Amino acid sequence: MSRVAMVTRTVKVVTASIMFVNVNAGEVDYTDITLSGDLSNDEVLKLAKKQLEDDTIKVVSVVSVHTEEKLYGMTEVDFIKLASVLPPRK
């Protein structure tokens, strides 16, 4: 069996537990979000607000943050199908 060519990338993945308030129900709840990058707690809070907040949900705080490096990959065939073509680098 021949080896399948893969495109791979190691990415820092942040899993954060976020405390939020549902203002309509008056309840505090928690949710987990996944982000990429090497982020501080302040950056996680800012991105969580951007991702989760609306008229009824208000983000209160970051409860916990776990960062790990993960290796992602896909076949070259899938990569060519799904990737956007970029201009050449200079």
Residue 69 lies in a domain: yes
Q: Considering the domain boundaries, does residue 61 fall inside one?
A: yes
In a domain, 22, yes or no: yes
Domain hosting 28: range is 10-75
HSE, CB side, 13 Å, CA atoms: give it for residue 69: 3
Q: Which tens digit of pLDDT belongs to each residue from 51-79?
A: 999 999 999 999 999 999 999 999 999 99
> What is the total count of domains within the chain?
1
Does the predicted model carry a pTM greater than 0.85?
A: no
Quote the CA–CA distance of 79 and 8 in Å, as a whole number.
10
Percent of residues, the chain, with pLDDT higher than 90? 96
Q: In what side-by-side order are the strands of the sheet with 27-36?
A: 27-36, 6-22, 57-75
